[in-house]
Amino acid sequence: MLVLAVFVAVAGGTLARASVVGHKDRPLATAGHVVLGSSFRLMRGVTGLRASGDYLLLGTTVSGDFLSTGWIVINNRLGTRTALDPRCHVDGLGPPWVLMGCPLTSNPYGPFDTELYSLPDGTRQTVAPIPGVPYCSSAPSDMTGCASADAVGTYWIRWDSTCSVHCGDTYFFQNIQTGELRDDPTDATTFADVNSPALARRTCPGVRLIRYFRYGVGWGSLTPYGQFALATGGPDGGVFLERCGTRMRRGLVNGITAVSEALTSNARAIVWQARLGHLSGLFLPSLQRFTIPLPAAIVRPPGSPENTSVSALVLTSGALYVEDGYQGRFWQTASPAALPLNTSRPSVTRSGSTLTCRRGSWRNADRFSYAWRVNGIARKGDNATLAVSEAGERPSASCSVTASNAVGTTTASSA
């Protein structure tokens, strides 16, 4: 179960007219920051995890070269489970395809070929390497260039033609149906979309890609979500949120000072780690900030001498998955977007000696309960009304509304 707590600063002093409104309605915004109290479930026997659309891929073993193998495909919509070739590792997931590297011999260290597994019908096909570019049938040496497939979409496979460490990335794209090979179309206002037949896709006005400067100069990635887009790049290898029709470029992660490079996103939320012990996030499109405290088993796994960062995050429509950075164990909790959503915060009204907590506006909520604080002290009772003395100075008071659904609860406080 998830518990979402919303904290709103309340000015000290008396309960003045600015703090307790009369009976006349006025528009109220959502809280600027919320805190999620999450229950995490350990996923035993999972060594790797990928997700896209309706599909979740779970690795169950580790090969001799420390790659997750024994992958299982789960269709969350249909509830089906299918085992992939236990010898192969997964290089990419882009429905309707799984991009796999499969050993050509009994040697688990390679060489490998590149294969596509069809999610709809379970067939496999070998992908021919790019003509004229050496194929990485095994791991390349530091300065030896070769090409390896590292991403797939509905129409295109992306090949990374690079060396192991000290070279910039050069991408090529191969059409799955025709085998046509294209150069990377990326520039300041165009990005490569492997799910588009045209490959090249223009950004919306106001959104621009960012240069990166890691072992060469190139363009960072761009992931669009309606009116928003996540862009990577810059001298620090950061992650930025941009918005169509504006000049917004909001820094989320600094590639040099970040606690972790792990970040996950979908059309409803972005999640990353800004400091040890917590995850940070933004809801879309409201841009409401949230924090998820992590349990001790993730922050300091058994045997770890110190607090550790997470090494991977995966977000789906119904779940958030976290890999700890010490033992590599995966944990599951509900997606932040599955909780009740507060769209206007609660408010307090007063009539004579009675305070009334007006719960505000909510979505995806089934039940409500209430809590009061007067002069900073919690008061007993969970009713929407509270009796106070009419005499003397008016106290400072606030109320909290807890909304519940089958997933968890969200608590929002009055301003």
Band (209; pLDDT cuts 50, 70, 90): very high
- Gap between the Cα atoms of 400 and 405, Å rounded: 17
pLDDT of residue 339: 82
pLDDT of residue 187: 96
Q: Is residue 39 part of a domain?
A: no
pLDDT of residue 254: 85
- Gap between the Cα atoms of 276 and 21, Å rounded: 40
**Are 360 and 412 contacting, i.e. CB atoms less than 8 angstroms apart?**
yes
From 248, 273, 305, the end of a domain falls on: 248
The residue ranking higher by pLDDT, 165 or 370, is 370
Q: Is residue 104 part of a domain?
A: no
CATH number at residue 21: 2.60.40
Residues 254-272 pLDDT 10s? 877 788 989 999 999 999 9
Q: Is residue 386 part of a domain?
A: yes
- Gap between the Cα atoms of 322 and 69, Å rounded: 19
Q: Is residue 364 part of a domain?
A: yes
pLDDT of residue 136: 65
Residues 372-400 pLDDT 10s? 999 889 998 889 999 987 655 567 899 98
**Domain range enclosing 362:** 2-31+345-413
From 218, 248, 278, the end of a domain falls on: 248
Tell me: pLDDT of 370 over 60. Answer: yes
Band (35; pLDDT cuts 50, 70, 90): confident
From 248, 281, 307, the end of a domain falls on: 248
Tell me: pLDDT of 27 over 80. Answer: no
Tell me: pLDDT of 208 over 70. Answer: yes
Give the total number of structural domains in the chain.
Answer: 2
pLDDT of residue 335: 92
Q: Is residue 372 part of a domain?
A: yes
Q: Is residue 399 part of a domain?
A: yes
Q: What pairs with residue 250 in β-bridges?
A: 241
**Are 400 and 386 contacting, i.e. CB atoms less than 8 angstroms apart?**
no
Q: What is the mean pLDDT of residues 195-208?
A: 97
pLDDT of residue 215: 60
pLDDT of residue 10: 31
- Please report the sign of the dihedral spanned by the C-alpha atoms of residue 210, residue 211, residue 213, residue 215: positive
Band (228; pLDDT cuts 50, 70, 90): very high
Q: Nearest-CA neighbor of 135 among 124, 123, 147, 126?
A: 147
Mean pLDDT: which of 1-10, 125-134, 330-339 is highest? Answer: 330-339
pLDDT of residue 100: 95
Q: Is residue 306 part of a domain?
A: no
The count of other CB atoms within 10 Å of the CB of residue 139 is 14
Strand 55-59: give its sheet, edge to edge.
Answer: 48-52, 55-59, 72-75, 80-83
- The 3-class SS string of the chain reads CEEEEECCCCCCCCCCCCCCECCCCCCCCCCCEEEEECCCEEECCCCEEEEECCEEEEECEECCCCCEECCEEEECCCCEEEECCCCCEEEEEECCEEEEEEECCCCCCCCEEEEEEECCCCCEEEECCCCCCCECCCCCCCCCCEEEEEEECCCEEEEEEECCCCCCCEEEEEECCCCCEEECCCECCEEECCCCCCCEEECCCCCCCCEEECCCEEECCEEEECCEEEEEEECCCEEEEEECCCCCEEEEECCCCCCCCCEEECCCEEEEEEECCEEEEEECCCCCEEEEECCHHHHCCCCCCCCCCEEEEEECCCEEEEEECCCCCEEEEECHHHCCEEEECCEEEEECCEEEEECCEEECCCEEEEEEEECCEEECCCCCEEECCCCCCCCCEEEEEEEECCCEEEEEECC
Determine what percent of the chain is predicted with pLDDT higher than 90.
54
Band (190; pLDDT cuts 50, 70, 90): very high
Determine what percent of the chain is predicted with pLDDT higher than 70.
83
What is the pTM for the complete model shown? 0.83
Q: Nearest-CA neighbor of 242 among 312, 234, 198, 290?
A: 234
pLDDT of residue 371: 93
Band (21; pLDDT cuts 50, 70, 90): very low
Burial of 22 from C-beta contacts in 10 A (0-12 / 13-18 / 19+): exposed
Residues 63-96 pLDDT 10s? 766 688 899 999 988 999 999 999 899 999 999 9
Q: Mean pLDDT across the chain, nearest whole number?
A: 84
The tokens 């997750």 sit on which residue? 68
**Out of 22-31, 100-109, 131-140, least confident range:** 22-31
pLDDT of residue 34: 75
pLDDT of residue 141: 44
Q: Nearest-CA neighbor of 174 among 219, 138, 137, 128?
A: 128
**Are 372 and 56 contacting, i.e. CB atoms less than 8 angstroms apart?**
no
Q: What is the mean pLDDT of residues 161-187?
A: 82
pLDDT of residue 199: 98
Band (31; pLDDT cuts 50, 70, 90): low
Q: Is residue 91 part of a domain?
A: no
Q: What is the mean pLDDT of residues 119-134?
A: 82
